[in-house]
Structure 1
Amino acid sequence: MSTQLIKPEHAQRREIRCNAADAMVANLAVHFIFFFERRLDTTALARSLAHALDYFPLFAGRMAVNAGAMRIRCAGQGVPFTCARSEGTLQQAARSVADDRGQWLVDAVNAVASRWGWGPLCKVRVTHLADDSTAIAFSWHHAIGDMQTAMLFMNAWVAAAEGKPIAEPLLVDDRAAYLDAHLPAVGSCEPGVRCLGPAELARSVLYLAKDARRQRTLSVYFGEEEIKRMRDTYGSRMRLSSNAVVCAHVCEALMQADPAVDHRRLAIVVNTRNRCGLDPMLVGNVVTTLNVDLQRGQDARSTAERIRRSVNGFAEHCDMRVNQQFLDRAGLLGDVRCVSTAFNPARWNPLITNLSGFGVYRIHFEDTFVSYCTLLMKFPVAGLGALVDGVDGRGMLFQIALPPREFQALCTPAVSEHMHRFRCADDDIPQLHRVLHG
């Protein structure tokens, strides 16, 4: 195994002021693994990565605090690039990720350390597997940006590897000021963020130290035909998206998992670019959340309808501007304690982000497309989850970090059968999903 520091070909210096959405994810890192059925050339990958960093210097930067605000300093500090070998096959490696044993594939960014400038904001690990396949693990600090930002960078890396022009991203030096100038004049008057009190903060730290490592990842795959039947059933009164029905469908099961809990608050992450007419090339966390109350005994149809109505009226209820005003008043101490209003350290709430539809299966190197892409769930808080594309963009995989008790409750044959009541025996389920997720 070897590691080198990949730096931009042409170093530049700039400092980017983070916004409220960045502060909310300041202690989170995201880890994606791309599998290729080919042994990729690591020298060529490293060279093209350096070229892509010229356009996206944030990934090679470091965090800092200046004038009471969280910032990303871009001075070409570099991205650790690790090359490794394994005796495991692609299927064995994918199985380890599905079983929460896939950490060996990832050189993970330490989000807490990096948040205070003590480490890199992005790491890449390339693992050559025994069957001449390759795994590329891409880990980035969430403060750099959201999934759309990450995919803009991955597409730039692909273009650099092919010697093609790279689409110019929109980097702004003051994200908060840019959004204030470009968001619609209408918006929510109530912030969607709050600051943890001392007791809540202590409880959260204790959970991170004691219980977070015991969390398990629930992964449920829904095929295309299965989702279509859900939409036809739940959407008989209004048009519903696949994201809304899958999320509502699983949340119905989540509410049945713990008889002691009658209410939770579902937070749905929304890409503000799409809903508020912002530039799709804008780099950063251009997202916020919509909250939907969940009640025991409530059916999935009503939950899906409420999700859809909230998303349809998003522009009028977008809270990004008022969130920024709230944190500006709270100062640096507020940034450290900032959480979504849906977060409750005494009782976990689901917070789901949609990571599907970004084209992960269009990523390719050396004329070889991604054969499987998965998220390594290393979230420190129970209830954080994501919707990701199935193999070749077919179907959806719902993943959520859960405490052991709720995980076990949702893994019983009875619950699994109820969760897949819209599946038919002859549905076309990709073989890899059958192996990994049943």
Structure 2
Amino acid sequence: MSTQLISASHQRQFEIRCNVGDVALSNVAVHVVFFFERPLDTQALAGAFAHALTRFPMFAGRIAMAGGRMRIRCKGQGVPFTSVSSGRTIREAIHSVQEDSGGWLIDPVNGATARWGFGPLCKVRVTHLADDATAIGFSFHHAIGDMQTAMHFLNAWAAAAAGKPLADPVIAEDRAAYLDAHLPADGAREAGVRCLGLAEIARSALYMAKDARKQRTLSLYYGEDEIARMRDAYGCRMRLSANDVVCAHVSEALMSADPAVHRRTLAIAVNVRNQCGLDPMLVGNIVTALNVDLRRGETARSIAERIRHHVDSFADEHCDMRINQTFLDAVGRWRGARCVATSFNPIQWNPLITNWTGFGIYRLQFEGAFAVYCTPVLNIPFAGVGVLIEGADGRGLVFQMTLPPKDFEAMSSPAIRERLSRFRYADDDIPQLHREVCG
């Protein structure tokens, strides 16, 4: 194993003032693994990575407090870049992620430690596998930005490796002020964030210490024909997206799995760039949560219709980023450090689903090889966090969610599994990999 600290060869030093979305996600790190069916040159990857950092210096930065506000100091402090070898094959490596034992493929950023300036905001691990395949584990602190931000950086890395021009990101040094100037004046009437109480903090800390490591990852695969049948069944009264129907389909099953739970709040991460006409190259957490009430016994069609209605009216009625920032500015530094989304509930978990589709994950290419599989590593210390991502080679959708053991067992029961797969036909073209890892 070898590790080097990579910094940009040259860059302007500056600070980024974080916005409310960055603060609310300031204890969270994101881990994702890309698989390539060929050996990749570690030194060439490292050199291209350093070049990409010249355009995206925040990935090599550190978090600091200045003037009572959280900031990212972009001074080229560096990104740990590790290269290791493994005797496992690419298929064995993918299986280990789905079985909650794939942590060896990443060098995880510690979200809580990095939040207080004591660690890097990004780490990379390149694993050379036994069958001449390569896995790239990419871990980044959520304060840097959302998945669209991460994909802009990864695309810049790939472009640098191929000797192609790098796209210029839009970097706002004061993210809060930028959004205040560019978002519509109207929007949500109530803030979508709140401050945790002391009892909630204690309960959350206890859960992270005792129970978070016991969580299991639910993995479901939905093929393209299967999703088309869902859209036909649920969308007879309005046009629904694949994201609408899969979120509703799984939510209905979640509400059926535990007879003791009658209500939950489904939080869906919404990319505000798309909904409010912001520059797609804007870097940061330009996302907010759209809350949808879930009731036991409600049909998936009804849930899907309500999701679509809320998304369609998002810009006018649900965009809460400006009012959330006003809330954060009013509560001050110390209470602001306890800022979370209103749907967060340490007593009874609520599902939070983020959509990673449409970012061109399977167009990521190094040394002529495209990524053949991409998966998150969900070692997140909170239950109910779900990710929707394209399946292998961009076919179908994979849904993954962290669940406590009791809820995982309930969602894995034969009755719920049958409910979840009721739109699947025996002759559907499901890739063998997904049959193996998702059932």
Fold match, TM over 0.5? yes
CA distance in 1, matches of 2:288, 2:173: 20
Letter in 2 for 1:91: R
Secondary structure of the residue that 2:65 maps to in structure 1?
strand
Displacement of 1:56 in angstroms is 0.1
Displacement of 1:418 in angstroms is 1.5
C-alpha distance after superposition, 1:118-159 (max 9, x if no partner): 000000000000000000000000010001000000000011
CA distance in 1, matches of 2:51, 2:277: 30
Secondary structure of the residue that 1:34 maps to in structure 2?
strand
**Does the CA-based 8 Å contact 1:35-1:373 persist in structure 2?**
yes
Q: Is 2:320 the partner of 1:319?
A: yes
Uncovered stretches (5+) of structure 1, i.e. residues with no partner = none
Q: What is residue 349 of structure 2 aligned with on the other side?
A: 348
Q: What is residue 40 of structure 1 aligned with on the other side?
A: 40
Q: What is residue 265 of structure 2 aligned with on the other side?
A: 265
Q: Is 2:104 the partner of 1:110?
A: no
CA distance in 2, matches of 1:400, 1:372: 18
CA distance in 2, matches of 1:59, 1:35: 21
**Cα-Cα RMSD:** 0.7
CA distance in 1, matches of 2:212, 2:133: 32
CA distance in 1, matches of 2:2, 2:213: 28
Letter in 2 for 1:356: T
CA distance in 1, matches of 2:347, 2:357: 30
Secondary structure of the residue that 1:202 maps to in structure 2?
helix
Q: What is residue 394 of structure 1 aligned with on the other side?
A: 395
**Does the CA-based 8 Å contact 2:257-2:416 persist in structure 1?**
no
C-alpha distance after superposition, 1:369-409 (max 9, x if no partner): 00111110111111111111111111111111111000001
Displacement of 1:237 in angstroms is 0.5
Displacement of 1:414 in angstroms is 2.4
Secondary structure of the residue that 2:54 maps to in structure 1?
helix
Q: 1:195-234 to 2 correspondence within 5 Å?
A: 195-234=195-234
Displacement of 1:167 in angstroms is 0.5
TM-score scaled by length of structure 1: 0.99
Displacement of 1:101 in angstroms is 0.2
C-alpha distance after superposition, 1:170-198 (max 9, x if no partner): 00100000000000121112000000111
CA distance in 2, matches of 1:56, 1:87: 34
Letter in 1 for 2:103: Q
CA distance in 2, matches of 1:54, 1:335: 31
Letter in 2 for 1:56: F
Letter in 2 for 1:425: A
Q: 1:4-403 to 2 correspondence within 5 Å?
A: 4-316=4-316, 317-403=318-404
**Does the CA-based 8 Å contact 2:219-2:437 persist in structure 1?**
no
TM-score scaled by length of structure 2: 0.99
CA distance in 1, matches of 2:358, 2:436: 23
Moved more, 87-96 or 325-334: 325-334
Letter in 1 for 2:10: H
Q: What is residue 430 of structure 1 aligned with on the other side?
A: 431
Letter in 1 for 2:437: L
**Does the CA-based 8 Å contact 2:58-2:72 persist in structure 1?**
yes
Letter in 2 for 1:363: L
CA distance in 1, matches of 2:268, 2:224: 22
**Does the CA-based 8 Å contact 1:193-1:340 persist in structure 2?**
yes
CA distance in 2, matches of 1:174, 1:313: 28
Letter in 2 for 1:211: D
Secondary structure of the residue that 1:55 maps to in structure 2?
coil
CA distance in 2, matches of 1:110, 1:200: 22
Q: Is 2:405 the partner of 1:404?
A: yes
Moved more, 330-339 or 139-148: 330-339
CA distance in 2, matches of 1:397, 1:69: 37
C-alpha distance after superposition, 1:226-276 (max 9, x if no partner): 000000000001000100100000011111121111000000100000000
Displacement of 1:334 in angstroms is 2.3
Letter in 2 for 1:181: A
CA distance in 1, matches of 2:209, 2:322: 34
**Does the CA-based 8 Å contact 1:21-1:287 persist in structure 2?**
yes
CA distance in 1, matches of 2:24, 2:176: 13
Letter in 2 for 1:319: D
C-alpha distance after superposition, 1:320-378 (max 9, x if no partner): 00000000011121222111111111100001111111111000100000011111011
CA distance in 2, matches of 1:200, 1:374: 31
CA distance in 2, matches of 1:378, 1:127: 19
Letter in 1 for 2:438: H
Identity of aligned residues (%): 65
CA distance in 2, matches of 1:345, 1:148: 28
C-alpha distance after superposition, 1:8-58 (max 9, x if no partner): 010431000000000111010001100000000001000000000000000
Instruction: Extract structure 1 runs of 4+ deviating beyond 2 A.
Output: none
**Does the CA-based 8 Å contact 1:12-1:76 persist in structure 2?**
no
Aligned residue pairs, count: 438
Moved more, 91-100 or 408-417: 408-417
C-alpha distance after superposition, 1:79-113 (max 9, x if no partner): 10000000000000000000000001110000000
C-alpha distance after superposition, 1:295-317 (max 9, x if no partner): 00011000000000000000012
Secondary structure of the residue that 1:145 maps to in structure 2?
coil
CA distance in 1, matches of 2:336, 2:258: 33
Displacement of 1:437 in angstroms is 1.0
**Does the CA-based 8 Å contact 2:149-2:283 persist in structure 1?**
yes
